[in-house]
Amino acid sequence: MRIAIVGASGYAGSELLRLSASHPDLEVVVATGETNAGRSVAEFVPALAGLYPSLNFSPVSAIFETDLDVAFVALPHGHSQHLVPDLLKSGVHAVDLGADFRLKNAEDYVTWYGKAHAQPALLATSVYGLVERHRKDLVDATLIAVPGCYPTASALALGPFLDRGLMDNTGIIVNALSGVSGAGRAASDRVHFARLAGNAEAYGLLTHRHTPEIEQELGAELLFTPHLIPTSRGVLVTAYGRSISDTLTSDNALDVLRETYADDPFVVVTPEPPTLKDTVGSNLCLVSARVDSRTGWIVVMSALDNLIKGAAGQAIQAWNVANGRDEILGLPLSGVTP
């Protein structure tokens, strides 16, 4: 398959370049980076020099001038909705790593993103690319909306309990930690070393844009609070929901997770709480759970690499399923340790 990576100079785009090089069915023919057009990928991202010694970044317009099968679009919110319709009309499939096609209610974009959606009709045809929960829906999909890193970690941890009616679907609390790469490559005061090092910061209080995405996926009401911490990659979620069952124990909760993900190669159930670093470098999501009989709360935990399972790896995993490939093709099943 001849592919374009749109936004290849960003962190998620660079990760798509790296992972695509080890995928036997993906050939990168265009890598766009609007402000870096004409510049060598090897020069801009030296870590990729061995994989792409002669590839240069192109302007976004190159995707409409090249014979393509699929475009992986890794652009900030608001950009892909103006590109995807023309891609689909020309027969090119689209895998969007941004938020443009994740929400099904167009009004949610006005509420949470502050602007009306330019292509609301496509919201009904996009398929949410969380493979573990939408594997059947993804088969033959031509427009895939890749979930965000926080919604992925939250849904994989909370979903099994909400789906089974074991947890109250109101009053859920989701606290999450993320490495600084989740903020993207663009510089800002928040990610300057002097501010970030040795620091931790809650942000997006009450208004974070991933809130409606998590609620849509889980059919639940929740309060989501993310935190920025001084590490480059990784997401760690700890979430709390009221248990509906008087007999649910921690062992039962772990069994629920094991039963749910028995056939999912990228979700690993751990008896001990996962740490943020456990999954770095892999497409894995580690999940665990506890039940506090004293207070009646279920505590669920998950960890993933925000640039792989939370972005580029998830995009390739969803594309694999949509196109009849082995789900694990081209994706790392192990992290980097120590």
| Residues involved in catalysis | 149
One-letter amino acid at 162 equals: L
Q: Determine the distance from the C-alpha atom of residue 171 to the mean position of all C-alpha atoms in its chain, rounded to a whole number.
A: 24
One-letter amino acid at 229 equals: I
Give the chain's end-to-end CA distance (angstroms, integer).
Answer: 35
- The structure tokens listed for 73 are 């679009």
The answer to whether the peptide bond before residue 59 is cis (omega within 30 degrees of 0) is no
Q: How far apart are CA 41 and CA 274, in angstroms?
A: 35
Contact 41/57 with Cβ under 8 angstroms? Answer: yes
Q: How far apart are CA 266 and CA 129, in angstroms?
A: 14
Q: Determine the distance from the C-alpha atom of residue 331 to the mean position of all C-alpha atoms in its chain, rounded to a whole number.
A: 14
- List C-alpha distances in Å: 314 to 63, 201, 293, 318: 22, 27, 35, 6
Instruction: Cite the DSSP H helix spans in 164-271.
Output: 193-196, 210-218, 250-260
The residues pairing with 226 across neighbouring beta strands, listed in sequence order, are: 176
Q: Which of 45, 276, 50 is nearest to 182 (CA)?
A: 276
Contact 30/66 with Cβ under 8 angstroms? Answer: yes
Contact 210/151 with Cβ under 8 angstroms? Answer: yes
Q: How far apart are CA 302 and CA 158, in angstroms?
A: 9
The residues pairing with 58 across neighbouring beta strands, listed in sequence order, are: 32
